[in-house]
Chains A and B, each alone.
Chain A
Amino acid sequence: MPDLGTYALEVTLAYAGSLGLLCALLAVSFVQARRAKRLLDETERRHSDG
């Protein structure tokens, strides 16, 4: 860990907050993608059966 001196709190806060936002965006995008794929598979199966 580098010595961040008197601004350690600000730098850490900026990195933690930003990486948290990026991780949340990635997680939401992947969850929505998986759910849409599953729903489409189900709907197409139902559609072809019916």
Chain B
Amino acid sequence: MSFWEYANPRKFMATTDRLLKPVFVLAALCLGTGLIWGFFFTPDDFKQGSTVKIIYLHVPSAMMAINVWAMMLITSLVWLIRRHHVSALAAKAAAPIGATMTLMALFTGAVWGQPMWGTWWEWDPRLTSFLILFLFYLGYMALWASVENPDTAADLTSVLCLVGSVFAILSRYAVNFWNQGLHQGASLSLDKEENVADVFWLPLVVCIAGFVLLFVALVLLRTRTEIRLRRIGALEMKERLA
């Protein structure tokens, strides 16, 4: 069996129909466990106090903000190269999720930054690149909504996705590229010295798994919606021509 079979909408709908519920249940379990563990059963940090608990929302949402765009980049490339409609619709379906994750990362970062840095906002390289990434998400969704022909919309948004990928990469590596600004380095690292302490790390990993699973569940649900809307459009077109 080939992976490309899932580019067939019927095959995609049949497979995701079976997958959707288990993925949603797993996501709820992971998110519930991680957030309850992090919020109720982890100690305060000696410097940050209880604001360290914001890490369980901020880090996973920021990771997803970048990785959702990476997923959109891959599916956009598949559309541009192989013209599979499901991949273009999956990119369209993922955009509102990515925008929400980016907004959540910006919001939790601002709420954490106020007591820790003494400011809600700073034109720091990472913060600024995240804001631009958020604007790219909005522009991407607006472009899909403003072009009537779905194939033309898919072409234009795919190109926009390629351009926006520069900011997705900048968002990830801004701290390393420009060694300035307020934002600290990555909270998760293979280097034990840089990584957060185990007591925070374990619930954080569970939360990240929860966010990833929630994204998978939502993107499947929303892609199914987009496939149905496309089918409605095709049937209505047939009715008009008959």
Residues of chain A at the chain B interface (Cβ within 8 Å): 2-8, 10-11, 13-15, 17-18, 21-22, 24-26, 28-30, 32-33, 36-37, 39-40, 43-44, 46-47, 50
Contacts and interface: CB of A to CB of B under 8 A. Distances in A.
B222 interface: yes
B50 A15 contact: no
Contacts of B44: 5
Contact of B111 (A3, A10, A22, A44): A10
Interface of A, helix, strand, loop or mixed by DSSP: helix
Q: Lowest 7 CB-CB distances: which A-B pairs, in order? A: A36-B228, A4-B50, A14-B111, A36-B225, A18-B57, A40-B228, A14-B54
A26 B218 contact: yes
Nearest to B229: A36
Interface stretch (B99-107, B143-151, B160-168): B99-107
Nearest to A34: B225
A17 B111 contact: yes
Contact of B108 (A14, A24, A29, A47): A14
Contact of A22 (B40, B100, B228): B100
B96 A25 contact: yes
